[in-house]
Amino acid sequence: MMREGSSREGNGGMRDQAYWERWLRKNAERLRERLSTVKEWYREAGVEKGERQAFKAALKALEPDGRPAGRRGRRPPPRGKGPVAPPDAAAGSAPDRRRGEAGRTVEGRLRFTREGRPLVIPEDPAAQAVRIPGHSLAGAWPKDRVVVRIERRRGAAPPYGRVERILERGIRSFVGRYAPTENRSFVRFRDRESDLLLEADLPDGFRADPGELVLTEVTGYPERGREGRARVVRALGKSHTMETIALAVLSTMEIPVDFPGSVAEEAALVPQSVHPEQLEGGGRREAGGSPARVDRRDLPFVTIDGEDARDFDDAVCLSPEGDGFRLHVAIADVGHYVSPRSPLDREAYIRGTSVYFPDRCIPMLPRELSEGVCSLKPGVNRLTMNVEVPIRPGGATGAPRFYPSVIRSRARLTYEEVHAFLSGPAGDMEGRKPTDGRIGAETGPMLRNMATAAGWLALARSARGALDFDLLEAKVAVEGGMPVSVAASERWESHRVIEEFMLVANAAVAEFLSRRGDPFLFRIHEEPAAEKVEEFEAAAGRLLRRSRATDRRDAASRLQAWAEIARGGKYERPVHMMILRSLMLARYGPETKGHFGLALPRYTHFTSPIRRYPDLVVHRALKTALGDTSLAPYLRELASMGTEIGTHLSARERVAMDAERAVEQRAKALFMEGKVGRVFEGSVSSLVSSGFFVTLAEWMVEGMVHVSTLRDDEYRFSADRMAWEGIYRRRTIALGDRVRVRVRRADPDRGEVDFLFVEMMTETP
């Protein structure tokens, strides 16, 4: 592997970060015991004034603490003559008090923090991350799956280790920048974790200007002194579009787009309409002993989804019953069309989930199913698996009912249309015009009843101790292949109606299958570690100037109490983000450990089989419980391999989430490219060791202000005040503060936006 700027050529005589990383690898061991401050290292290395920033960046990359690992006990020098003290309390990383034995090995993925520090994230979700000094990477690249050996631990912080072996390479292809020299061709790959320069072979007839985007495949990795090498596939043009951003993320994360031939052939044979025999019912059981389908085409089912949705997994209907309602949830019967171990099934398992970008979807199933016969479109017959749940003022009460069905959706409604209708006068049954049909005399009263029933379910969920806080997400609007706005997504009552109905259906299926003892996949969300909650409370207490939020001792009540205290104030988003970081990641597994966030002992995913493979697994378990004997071999396999299946599907979910986040970040940077130099208002949203992040008020875009760009004072982080404080002028920049910033840089390659601090804004009373 070769890094750009490995010599002074083409760099104005200045040595860059890559040069200093190599210098430090060669010399750090012999010098670190007698040199302590950055100034001493400058002198020893002969660092020129214009090279200091590159040298310090190299030092941070190689030393996880961001400071020379030399003599102890020396007072840290002020900014400009040494490293800035990192704000550990604000970084969101909790100390783990467990002590691991030095010498043990851990498998995991190599990742880099936003400040360039290497970490290995273990495959065991309960295990602690391992910090890796830059000189101990052993040629590993970001995203590689590696074996690390624990070497030491400093206090209660995460342990240090070194890479012993690379198990699997994480980067096989990428979108980079063409960087030719006089007689050689290189491609530079940059994202938030990587900055690589590889010599590349070019295809016949290749033509591109320096700096153009190129799709590239890695053909050789660095080993035994040999540099890495790549092959250019094709040129993509000079500037990013949403197309090149999607291609960059999909190629780097190895998310398949096209379906293999055998899968496409099987999908082409799937009938696009329901066979008449499946509509007859009459009590006859289907093949495999599955109970006959119940004809529910008489019920006024509707779908409620986003404006741009195409795969409609679920339809809902509500009918009056006694002092409440009967909820009908119909979920696409994907299992009817996708048989276990078929090409369709194997490919869906490999993908694990659909991936959603602002302007496109990478489906888990071919479009003949995901947007065709499985999608619950209005006015056509569709096969479903149904759940009926009685709803009363106290929540979901009474025994649910499960059965295969056939339905015909009355209308394809959108969240916005239902929101507009529910917000209008109670007597307005005509409402707004949906895509396919109108909210009229039949559907209108049902929608208002749905809002009532969802309110009952929400109250019951709150009473049992479930967490409830909203973190608005960004919605990137795309026109002509380019992002044209980045706004906060709306959260309406119509969203909450569908969420509550899906939650109660999922919980009902989980309880039913659990009581039977059948093998299936639970959705697991374990209680956070006590030290994580304690660290959050300490930080929230400093921020909100309170010693405690509630006298209750359970973790859920404490976290929710802090969320309520912060709600509506300037600290709402920072506090809610800190709560989120304190929680465990949800995952899939064959044994329940409860769902902490929902305060449920058992929970599963059943309602989205078009886009989530775990839901398809649960559908098959439910069909078996209802008498379908043809799936017995599949259930036996699930019983023996449930842990492995759950681990794989959890990993695929995380890959999809990472991809969606990466595309969103790059799209935001592309959007802000045309706004460099402009001034915007915003608020401080998080603090890190090298500065602070600001989220804009006009656009839901977050960018970083590097503390090195604050020229009016020397700044240090105050853990007590959770703020950066000027040493001399005593200015403080704290979480939640309203500020004005100027856009300094927008980099779609890395998905980064940098701001320059302009001024503090006066707080409105």
- Which has the closest alpha carbon to 543: 90, 87, 115? 90
Give, as one character, the DSSP assignment of residue 742: E
Q: Give the per-residue pLDDT at 38.
A: 67
Cα–Cα distance, 64 to 741 (Å, whole number): 30
Cα–Cα distance, 385 to 330 (Å, whole number): 6
Q: Give the per-residue pLDDT at 126.
A: 67
Select the more confidently predicted residue: 718 or 241. Answer: 241
Q: Which of 18-32, 582-596, 695-709 has the least mean pLDDT?
A: 18-32
Assess whether 534 and 510 both reside in one domain.
no
Which band of pLDDT confidence, cut at 50, 70 and 90, is reported for residue 466? very high
Average pLDDT over residues 396-401: 92
Residue that the structure tokens 């696009």 belong to: 272
Assess whether 494 and 514 both reside in one domain.
yes
Q: Are 62 and 135 in contact, with CB atoms under 8 Å apart?
A: yes
Share in percent of the chain as helix, strand, coil (round to 5): 30, 25, 40
In the chain, the percentage of residues whose pLDDT exceeds 70 is 84
E strand segments, 227-339: 229-237, 294-295, 302-305, 314-321, 324-332
Where is the domain boundary, 200, 223, 238? 238
Structural domain contains residue 718 = yes
Cα–Cα distance, 75 to 717 (Å, whole number): 16
Q: In this structure, which amino acid lies at residue 346? A: R
pLDDT higher than threshold 80 for residue 540: yes
Which band of pLDDT confidence, cut at 50, 70 and 90, is reported for residue 77? very low
Structural domain contains residue 73 = yes
E strand segments, 68-194: 105-112, 118-122, 130-131, 145-152, 160-168, 173-178, 186-190
Which band of pLDDT confidence, cut at 50, 70 and 90, is reported for residue 35? low
Q: Which of 48-62, 155-169, 236-250 has the least mean pLDDT?
A: 48-62
For 25-80, give the DSSP string.
HHHHHHHTTT--SHHHHHHHHT--GGGHHHHHHHHHHHSTTSS----SSPPPPPTT
Partners of 122 in the β-ladder: 108
Cα–Cα distance, 704 to 754 (Å, whole number): 5
| Average pLDDT of the chain to the nearest whole number | 86
Average pLDDT over residues 142-166: 85
Classify burial at 584, counting beta carbons within 10 Å of its beta carbon; exposed 0-12, middle 13-18, buried 19 or more: middle
Partners of 589 in the β-ladder: 522
Select the more confidently predicted residue: 649 or 113. Answer: 649
Average pLDDT over residues 93-115: 68
Q: Are 468 and 421 in contact, with CB atoms under 8 Å apart?
A: no
Average pLDDT over residues 511-526: 96
User: For the segment 542-585, what is each residue's pLDDT rounded down to a tens digit?
Assistant: 888 888 888 888 899 999 999 999 998 888 988 999 999 999 99
Structural domain contains residue 1 = no
Assess whether 140 and 162 both reside in one domain.
yes
Where is the domain boundary, 168, 188, 220? 168
**Residue 702 CB: number of other CB atoms within 10 A?**
18
- Which has the closest alpha carbon to 253: 193, 195, 190, 173? 173
Give, as one character, the DSSP assignment of residue 595: B
Average pLDDT over residues 382-399: 95
Q: Give the per-residue pLDDT at 292.
A: 84
- Polymer length in residues for the chain: 765
pLDDT higher than threshold 50 for residue 97: no
Please, what is the end-to-end C-alpha distance for the chain in angstroms? 57
Q: Give the per-residue pLDDT at 562.
A: 92
Assess whether 437 and 510 both reside in one domain.
yes
User: Where is 692: in which H helix or E strand?
Assistant: strand 691-696
User: Where is 664: in which H helix or E strand?
Assistant: helix 632-673
- Which has the closest alpha carbon to 149: 112, 120, 171? 120
Where is the domain boundary, 610, 632, 663? 663
pLDDT higher than threshold 80 for residue 651: yes
For 362-420, give the DSSP string.
E-SS-HHIIIIITS--BTSEEEEEEEEEEEETTEE-S--EEEEEEEEBSEEEEHHHHHH
Average pLDDT over residues 14-39: 63
Assess whether 24 and 143 both reside in one domain.
no
Assess whether 534 and 574 both reside in one domain.
yes
And the tokens for 27? 């010399």
Give residues with Cβ within 8 angstroms of 336, minimum separation 6: 383
Structural domain contains residue 463 = yes
Average pLDDT over residues 212-227: 88
Which band of pLDDT confidence, cut at 50, 70 and 90, is reported for residue 49? low
Cα–Cα distance, 700 to 610 (Å, whole number): 30
Q: Give the per-residue pLDDT at 283.
A: 44
Alpha carbon separation from 290 to 294, 509, 515, 539, 631 (Å, rounded): 12, 17, 20, 55, 10
Q: What is the CATH number of the domain that holds 181?
A: 2.40.50.140
pLDDT higher than threshold 90 for residue 26: no
Assess whether 650 and 745 both reside in one domain.
no
Q: What angle do CA 314, 320, 323 make, to 5 degrees?
A: 125
Q: Give the per-residue pLDDT at 633.
A: 92
Assess whether 234 and 297 both reside in one domain.
no
Q: Give the per-residue pLDDT at 461.
A: 94
Residue that the structure tokens 């056509």 belong to: 380
Structural domain contains residue 9 = no
Q: How many domains does the chain have?
A: 6
Where b means 16+ CB within 10 Å and e means fewer, 84-106 reads bebbebbbbbbebeeebeeeeeb
For 214-249, give the DSSP string.
EEEEEEE--BTTBPPEEEEEEEEESS--HHHHHHHH
Cα–Cα distance, 676 to 653 (Å, whole number): 35
Assess whether 686 and 575 both reside in one domain.
no
Alpha carbon separation from 69 to 29, 34, 36, 434, 436 (Å, rounded): 9, 10, 7, 64, 67
Which band of pLDDT confidence, cut at 50, 70 and 90, is reported for residue 744? very high
And the tokens for 491? 């959260």
Which band of pLDDT confidence, cut at 50, 70 and 90, is reported for residue 522? very high
Assess whether 277 and 351 both reside in one domain.
yes
Q: Give the per-residue pLDDT at 1.
A: 39
Cα–Cα distance, 178 to 146 (Å, whole number): 29
Which band of pLDDT confidence, cut at 50, 70 and 90, is reported for residue 222? confident
Structural domain contains residue 244 = no
- Which has the closest alpha carbon to 315: 368, 380, 359? 380
Assess whether 300 and 442 both reside in one domain.
yes
Cα–Cα distance, 236 to 242 (Å, whole number): 12
User: For the segment 261-314, what is each residue's pLDDT rounded down to a tens digit?
Assistant: 999 999 999 999 987 776 655 444 555 566 789 999 999 999 999 998 889 999
Coil, strand or helix: which one is 476?
Answer: strand
Within 13 Å and on the Cβ side, how many CA atoms surround 99?
3
pTM for the whole structure: 0.82
Torsion of CA 13, 17, 23, 29, to 10 degrees: 150
Parent domain of 722: 674-760
Assess whether 636 and 713 both reside in one domain.
no
And the tokens for 573? 């988003």
Give residues with Cβ within 8 angstroms of 8, minimum separation 6: 14, 15, 19
Q: Are 729 and 743 in contact, with CB atoms under 8 Å apart?
A: no
pLDDT higher than threshold 70 for residue 601: yes
Q: Which of 2-16, 316-330, 622-636 has the least mean pLDDT?
A: 2-16
